[in-house]
Structure 1
Amino acid sequence: MQNRQEIANVSGLDPVWTRIQDEARSMVADEPRLAGLVHASVLNRRNFEDALCYRLGQKLASGEMTEGLVREILIEAHEDDPTLGQAARADAVAVLERDPACHRLIQPLMFFKGFQAVQAYRVAHRLWHRGRVDMAYFLQMRTSEVFGVDIHPGAVIGRGIMIDHAHSIVIGETARVGDNVSMLHSVTLGGTGKEDGVRHPKIGDGVLIGAGAAILGNIEVGHCSRIAAGSVVLVEVPPCKTVAGVPARIVGEAGCDQPAQSMNHLLMERSTLDE
């Protein structure tokens, strides 16, 4: 297990953390009234993991558990599993690359609840698999209360995840989400009844899920596919296809190699719509 000093020593070779620190200094210069928050959250922290745990501790603390205790739980998880920080870096870069409202790497860390909620889930997931089920449920509860994002700690979520706006996201216990997936608000990855066992969707790599889409049941959504906004998906989706409707049907190809990165939600070209 790496201790805190060992993790801190890596920060000098960490381009994500270096850029966030530079952006923090610019933020202080541009908005001095945020100086206290920025110094406490970034400039006074040892490394990216320390900053992330500090910020999440601020957000998840409540009368039920102090900020210091929440932060201690988060830091212990990151020290126990360095891949948490690696996944968080990939998520931050994904947000910067795919969200046109994001112009700096510091923004997801400081302000974007989709990014923050996913990082809280990652710690809860780690605790879940360490047998600390009650603490995992506590973090799930607080994440839902604070961010409006309800991800069961048993779900498996890959890296490079971007959840834009992040209102009313629900991801069930046996759901699986691949790498480099993008989704918008009000997405549900849910079950279809009271059955036990594996009962939630499996989302492939590079999938784009539009706002308000519901993907229900133990079905697979193939890699690099697109789920149109408002769709209800009840059957498997082949790779590299676009589905739309209630219930969803295949309406065409995905339109590009990486729909989750292009973030193109149009079902047809504008010229076709205008005809």
Structure 2
Amino acid sequence: MTTAATSTSGSLWQDIRDDAQRAIAADPVFGKSLADTVLIHGDFAAALADLIGRRLGGSAAEQARFNTFSLDAFRGAPDLIGTAACDLQAIALRDPAIAELLPPLLHYKGYVALQAWRVSHWHWHRGHIDAALLFQNEASNALQVSIHPAASIGSGVYLDHATGIVIGANAVIGDAVTILQNVSIGRHSELPACSPRIGRGVYIGGGATILGDISIGDFAKIGAGTVVTSDIPAGCTAVGNPARLTNCPEPASAA
């Protein structure tokens, strides 16, 4: 792990533990759950692996298997923990309903689904295909989020509400992207490479569909229910079916 990633995840883990201690002081009845899911663990990686196991596994044996697969990934690629820290911080920054790190860690299924995908992606690229697809299948069943292990997703990503999200193989999603519920991102043909490329800081509203070998420029916004099958320039807003552009920045030459 890089020094910056180590510092980020270590500081975040201490913040989470501090949040848990305050929550226990405010509500001792809830404290047992917090102690089991947060304070019992020595670091963020162990807590996150346990959380993934709890959310994806039905039986104790299944939970242990998902936990082990997750720890294997975190040990094999420690930067995954730094990325998980960035994802959690992104929620606290972009969700006006919360101000702490503990609630999204414990209760936002989009966060858990995204970290489960990061584990599946790691296994996929090491030839552990069955393990990777198992994570995708169980995240779809338990969390209603289906992300193919072959997709590519940056850091600081927020899956808001996170029900009915489908992201296909070979889709590329940049850093700091926000995706709301019932969004589909995938192919428009049988060719596996014909998947969308989503730029940095893009906002994708609920029910949007983005299909094909297209690019969505940095900081573009896709309105709720919009169907996108062609490129969207950076900074533009796309609305409607088919998508039409609005609020595009003026060309640099005009400026």
Please classify the TM superposition score into its range, dividing by the shorter chain length.
over 0.9
Rounded to whole Å, the distance in 1 between the matches of 2:188 and 2:60 is 33
Amino acid at match of 1:139: F
Structure-to-structure mapping, 1:134-173, within 5 angstroms: 134-173=130-169
Rounded to whole Å, the distance in 2 between the matches of 1:12 and 1:208 is 25
2:253 counterpart residue number: none
1:182 counterpart residue number: 178
Tell me the CA shift for residue 250 of structure 1: 0.7
Amino acid at match of 1:22: D
2:116 counterpart residue number: 120
Tell me the CA shift for residue 133 of structure 1: 0.5
Checking the alignment, whether the CA contact within 8 Å between 2:92 and 2:101 is kept in structure 1 is: yes
1:213 counterpart residue number: 208
5+ residue gaps, structure 1, are 3-9, 256-275
Aligned length: 247
Checking the alignment, whether the CA contact within 8 Å between 1:221 and 1:237 is kept in structure 2 is: yes
Equivalent residue for 2:66, pick from 53, 70, 95: 70
Checking the alignment, whether the CA contact within 8 Å between 2:160 and 2:179 is kept in structure 1 is: yes
Equivalent residue for 1:99, pick from 84, 95, 102: 95
Rounded to whole Å, the distance in 2 between the matches of 1:140 and 1:30 is 37
- The root-mean-square deviation of aligned C-alpha atoms, in Å, is 1.9
Rounded to whole Å, the distance in 1 between the matches of 2:60 and 2:132 is 15
Checking the alignment, whether the CA contact within 8 Å between 1:225 and 1:254 is kept in structure 2 is: no
| Secondary structure of the corresponding residue to residue 66 of structure 1 | helix
Amino acid at match of 1:42: V
Checking the alignment, whether the CA contact within 8 Å between 1:210 and 1:230 is kept in structure 2 is: yes
| Secondary structure of the corresponding residue to residue 19 of structure 2 | helix
Instruction: Flag the 1:92–1:254 CA change in 2: closer, same or farther, 3 A.
Output: farther
Equivalent residue for 1:59, pick from 52, 55, 58: 55
2:17 counterpart residue number: 21
Rounded to whole Å, the distance in 1 between the matches of 2:9 and 2:233 is 41
Tell me the CA shift for residue 119 of structure 1: 0.3
Tell me the CA shift for residue 81 of structure 1: 0.2
How high is the sequence identity, in percent, across the aligned residues?
A: 37
1:245 aligns with 2:228: no
Amino acid at match of 2:173: V
Tell me the CA shift for residue 197 of structure 1: 2.4
Checking the alignment, whether the CA contact within 8 Å between 1:209 and 1:229 is kept in structure 2 is: yes
Equivalent residue for 2:222, pick from 227, 244, 256: 227
Instruction: Flag the 1:30–1:176 CA change in 2: closer, same or farther, 3 A.
Output: same
Amino acid at match of 1:253: C
TM-score of the superposed pair, with normalisation by structure 2 = 0.92
Structure-to-structure mapping, 1:183-198, within 5 angstroms: 183-193=179-189, 195-198=190-193
Instruction: Flag the 1:75–1:11 CA change in 2: closer, same or farther, 3 A.
Output: farther
Tell me the CA shift for residue 102 of structure 1: 2.0
The superposition leaves residues 10-69 of structure 1 with CA deviations (integer Å, 9 ceiling, x where unpaired) of 689822111100000111122222222111111111111111111111111124952122
Tell me the CA shift for residue 103 of structure 1: 2.1
Checking the alignment, whether the CA contact within 8 Å between 2:45 and 2:81 is kept in structure 1 is: yes
Rounded to whole Å, the distance in 2 between the matches of 1:173 and 1:13 is 29
1:84 counterpart residue number: 80
Tell me the CA shift for residue 146 of structure 1: 0.9
User: Which deviates the most, 141-150 or 56-65?
Assistant: 56-65
Checking the alignment, whether the CA contact within 8 Å between 1:11 and 1:17 is kept in structure 2 is: no
User: Which deviates the most, 119-128 or 23-32?
Assistant: 23-32
| Secondary structure of the corresponding residue to residue 150 of structure 1 | strand
